[in-house]
Structure 1
């Protein structure tokens, strides 16, 4: 009788036949690319808003905004106060506007890239992709 280690050694020494398939990507569905780029942009927008909130909290807790405000007050003679412009609602509103603009731009760029790829395939023949099974 053979042990489990002998059986595993026989399995590892035998070569498996790996099948390989080569396919050409000759068309990217326009609406699928738009949907995928929109979902990517939504995730990026959420990350932008959360990161802006966390950075603002760190700046506020370390009192860096107050120190920069004191420095600007010394340079400008007290005419400009940074703390009047940098409060949480205004920072989050700015982050929301940036996130919405990024959402629109990333979605449009995904559609444009899909259209350009579909036009380039007519010249280049497409992207060759290889798949193997082990």
Structure 2
């Protein structure tokens, strides 16, 4: 015979069925997409600057710049000095300019993708996304 406690124990081990919701993504807010793409671009710019500094520091401390400068002077003549061109200020300045260009391009691409998605939803109906409460 089964007691009430056994029935409750069996009942509590069964999981209730998960509720699933299927939604369609039919619109992406333009300004939200611009803000998100700007924040992603800022993160990429910081990563780019830190990586450039670290790579420059490693290459400078291992003496690769001096060896490359010797090779360039042997090939091009003694009038060229590669170390003056590849100073930390010049390299980081170039990295900052590249990061700013990347920031603008990534922000504009995020805006363009949002507009193109909003236009394509009129044809395709959007993306079907499923959610569950687990």
Q: TM-score, normalised by structure 1?
A: 0.89
Structure 1 residue 13, shift from structure 2 partner = 4.3
| Offset of residue 11 of structure 1 | 7.9
Show structure 2 runs of 5+ residues with no match. 1-8
Which deviates the most, 103-112 or 78-87? Answer: 78-87
In 2, the alpha carbon distance for the partners of 1:10 and 1:53 equals: 62
Structure 1 pair 43–11 and aligned structure 2 pair: CA distance change class (3 A): farther
Q: Report what 1:72 is aligned to.
A: 72
Q: Which runs of 4+ in 1 moved over 2 A?
A: 9-13
What's the TM-score once normalised by structure 2's chain length?
A: 0.89
Between the aligned partners of 1:27 and 1:114, the Cα distance in structure 2 is 9
How far 1:12 sits from its partner (Å)?
Answer: 8.2
**Residue in structure 2 matched with residue 20 of structure 1 by the alignment:** 20
RMSD, aligned α-carbons: 1.5
Q: SS of the residue aligned with 1:18?
A: coil
Report the Cα offset of residue 126 of structure 1: 0.2
Deviation at 1:80, TM superposition (A): 2.0
In 1, Cα distance between the equivalents of 2:92 and 2:16?
57
TM superposition shift of 1:79: 2.7
Aligned residues: 126
Structure 1 unaligned regions, length at least 5: 1-8
**Greater mean alpha carbon deviation, residues 105-114 or residues 81-90:** 81-90
Map 1:16-55 to 2 at 5 A: 16-55=16-55
Taking the aligned partners of 1:12 and 1:72, their CA distance within structure 2 comes to 77
CA distance in 1, matches of 2:124, 2:132: 24
